[in-house]
Amino acid sequence: MDSNAARAAILEGTAPTGLRVEGNLNLVGCLDLVSLPDNLDVAGSLHLNSCAGLSVLPAGLRVGIYLDLTGCTGLKGLSRDLNVGGNINMSYCLGLASLPAGFQVKGSLSMAHCAQLTQLPAGLRTARHLNLTRCTGLERLPADLVVDRNLDLTHCTSLRKLPAALTVGGGLYLNNCKRLIELPDGLHVHRSLDLTGCSRLTALPHGLRVDGDLDLTGCAQLRELPADLQVGGRLAMDGVTGLRP
């Protein structure tokens, strides 16, 4: 079915189970939308931005390229069999508290401003970037988390530690993680590491290696740097005044 006919059928409540949509499906701002047909298959991208009445996604949902759920404030969870060929954006899904166990993303995953999110499932992996900016309820990360590109934890103000085996293939951004008290020994950041405003951090871990820039601006309680610290780019330490000689 073409996208216009599929949109009309979904909004009228006549869409059949297993509906196949050729191309993209745009349902942006459909405030009265409360459900989608099971086994919906969208060959292109599915845009559900600001569909505030949608609380669950259908079983068997398949999206070929991109799934945009930005501002779906009523969404409570995702189906275990969700299959998306590329990026997923769930920013501002204010009611989302968890993801299915073993959730895998073939592109980037953005969950910025998902304030109800307190933890992530074991086995989570993203093939590109993971954006958790302002997930202020997030208290910990899974021990086996793998992010192939950048991991952005900016303003995750409940986060205290990172897992010892964390794997990040790009940059690591921890700006204003004000409760962060330590980083794991042997941490290797393949691009830049931003610790701006991590005001409770008193020391950096042994074996820390940063291939790009390291920004420690505003880490006012930092008392020492490890002797084996390696930084491939610029080291910024504005406001770091308590280092021991």
pLDDT of 201 = 95
What are 136-181's pLDDT values in tens digits? 999 999 999 999 999 999 999 999 999 999 999 999 999 999 999 9
Domain residue ranges of the chain, discontinuous segments joined by +? 1-96, 110-245
What are 117-127's pLDDT values in tens digits? 999 999 999 99
Give pTM, 2 decimals. Answer: 0.95
3-state helix vs strand vs coil in the chain, percent to 5: 5, 20, 75
Residues 6+ apart with CB under 8 A from 238: 217, 218
Query: Which residue, chain included where needed, has tokens 């740097």?
Result: 225
Residues 6+ apart with CB under 8 A from 188: 209, 211
